[in-house]
Amino acid sequence: MDMLSTEDTDREWFEQVRWPKGPICPYCGTDNVQSRIKHKTMTHRCRVCVKGSSKRMFSLKAGTGMEGSKLGYRT
C-alpha cells in the first residue's frame, strides 16, 4: 500500500499493468482511443465504436470486476 500513495498514482499503476502499450477499447479491441477526455467518470473514448450517435466512452475499470463500482483504485 505504501508503494501507491494517492488515487492518481494507483490509477497510473493500474493503467501500466492493464495497458502496457497504451489504452485499448474493451468493447472492440482497437488502440484508436482518445485519452483523458473531460468527463466525470469516463476517461477514454473509442474512435471506432459507435453507440447511438456518439463514440463509446469507457474507463480503466471497464471490462473488469470493478466495472460500475464507485470504489477507488486503492480499495
The answer to whether the pTM exceeds 0.85 is no
Question: pLDDT tens, 11-51?
Answer: 888 888 889 999 999 888 999 998 888 887 788 899 888 76
CA distances from 75 to 1, 4, 47, 60 (A): 10, 11, 31, 15
**Three-class SS state of 3:** coil
- Give the C-alpha separation, 34 to 48, whole Å: 10
- Give the C-alpha separation, 55 to 47, whole Å: 6
